[in-house]
Amino acid sequence: MRVRNICDIDLLKYHGALVNLADTRNKIQHYEVNEEAEVLIATIISAFSAIEHLVYHALNERFENFESIIAPEQITTLHEDKEAYIKRKKDISDDICSQNLSKVSFSYSANKNISIPCPKCAETFLIQTQNDAVKCYYCGTQYQNLQEIYLKDKNCIISDTMERELGKRKTILKELLECPEINAF
């Protein structure tokens, strides 16, 4: 709340999630909490999604810079929780849709695209930002340009995904010729 008031940051839909968390925290402090466990869990999960949005997109920061409050490993642990993971992905998808952002993707035919995954987190939420830069909306990693994404694909996340996805579309793609440039390597 303070960030919003001091820095005039628009927290979009996430504002409500943080207000809910603050309300619940106050009630807990005054021993007045009277919610079902499910409601409390949903409040916490929504608030974490909001915190990730705040750090990565509103502040354009990394959790590494807030280690004394919350470490990146704790965020990784959080993502191992199925509900938190699904909630975060849904929130990002909604943000992409409502802000009319376009994902970095490979177009193999008119209106047919394969989203390219982030080489760091493997999620397909790479968004092209200003000056050809690319940002992962899931893990917050920023890349200078598209080329950097491929250069950082040391674990073959992109190449494996593309091979798999293109393999699924073999019949549609059979007319595509092999790229002579790739064969040259």
* Interacting residues toward Zn ion by CB under 5 A: 118, 120-121, 136, 138-139, 141
Distance of closest approach, residue 158 Cβ to Zn ion, in angstroms: 12
* Residue nearer to Zn ion on the CB measure, 50 or 118: 118
List phi, psi (to 5°) of 71: -90, 155
Angle at 96 between CA 123 and CA 99, to 5 degrees: 160
Distance of closest approach, residue 52 Cβ to Zn ion, in angstroms: 12
Distance of closest approach, residue 175 Cβ to Zn ion, in angstroms: 33
* Residue nearer to Zn ion on the CB measure, 33 or 114: 114
Q: In the beta sheet, which residues pair with residue 115? A: 105
CA distance 50 to 35: 21
Distance of closest approach, residue 134 Cβ to Zn ion, in angstroms: 10
* Residue nearer to Zn ion on the CB measure, 114 or 121: 121
Cα 65 to Cα 60, 144, 181, distances in angstroms: 11, 20, 41
* Residue nearer to Zn ion on the CB measure, 21 or 133: 133
